[in-house]
Amino acid sequence: NAGVTQTPKFQVLKTGQSMTLQCAQDMNHNSMYWYRQDPGMGLRLIYYSASEGTTDKGEVPNGYNVSRLNKREFSLRLESAAPSQTSVYFCAAADRGLNNEQFFGPGTRLTVL
């Protein structure tokens, strides 16, 4: 039971390049989330998916797109990377219900040059 997995762990991009961050969960949870973590900023929500087939914008969606491929997988795409997108990206999953905690993946450290 791996929980939430993310690939890759590290990535370096040049400005303007594109890439997709992958996330998968084996907990059968309905909701999935993408956050970015920047020093002194805490975690900020980029996009979330309350259930398979739905996605919604979070606090900082500009420059990103997401796909909820199925119940297990939720990918985050940077179409044209910018230095401001240098960050650590975390995926999380949670069961439905306001009292349910989110479970986090190990993160992807992305540097955009």
Partner 1 sequence: AQSVAQPEDQVNVAEGNPLTVKCTYSVSGNPYLFWYVQYPNRGLQFLLKYITGDNLVKGSYGFEAEFNKSQTSFHLKKPSALVSDSALYFCAVRDARSQGNLIFGKGTKLSVKP
Residues of this chain that bind partner 1 (CB under 8 A): 4, 31, 33, 40-45, 48, 50, 56, 58, 90, 92, 94, 96-107
Q: Token pair for residue 102? A: 């989110």
Question: Residue 18 CB, nearest distance to partner 1 (Å)?
Answer: 25
Dist CA 88 CA 99 (whole Å) = 26
Q: Which is nearer to partner 1, 63 or 106 (CB)?
A: 106
Question: Residue 71 CB, nearest distance to partner 1 (Å)?
Answer: 16
